[in-house]
Structure 1
Amino acid sequence: ADYDRDGDIDLFIGSRSIPWQYGMTPESYLLQNDGRGFFSLADAAWNDAVSQIGMVTDAAWADIDRDGAADLVVVGEWMPVTVLRNTGQGWENITEAAGLARSNGFWNCLEIADLNGDGYPDLIAGNLGFNSKIRVSEEQPATLYISDFDRNGLLDPITAFYKGGQNYPLPLLKELLAQLPYLRERFPNNASYAGQTVSEVFTPEELEHATRNQVFTTASSVFYGSAAGRFTARELPREAQYSSVFAIEVLDANGDGKADLLLGGNFYGYTPQLGRQDASFGNLLEVDGEGGFAVIPPTQSGIFVRGQVRDITRLKVRGREVVILARNDAPAVVYQEQ
Structure 2
Amino acid sequence: MLFNSLPFLYLFLPITYFVFWRLTSKTRRYVWLAITGYVFYSFWNYKFCALMLFSTLVSYLAGLGLLRWEDPARRRLCLVIPVTLDLALLGFFKYTNFVLTSVNGLSSWLGGQTQLATLDIVLPVGISFYTFHTVTYIVDSYHGRITPTKSFFQFASYVSLFPQLVAGPIVRFRQISDDLEKIDRAEETRDLDKGWSFFVMGMIKKVLIADTIGGIITPALASYSELSTLGAWLCMLGFAYQVYYDFGGYSDMAVGLGYMFGLRLPQNFNSPFQALNIADFWRRWHISMSSFFKDYVYIPLGGSRGSRWMASRNLTVTMLLAGLWHGANWPCVLWGGFIGLLLVVHGLIAPWWERMPS
**TM-score, normalisation: structure 2:** 0.28
TM-score of the two chains, using structure 1 as the length reference = 0.29
Structure with larger RCO (C-alpha < 8 A, sep 6+): 2
Structure that is richer in strand per residue: 1
Q: Higher helix fraction: Structure 1 or Structure 2?
A: 2
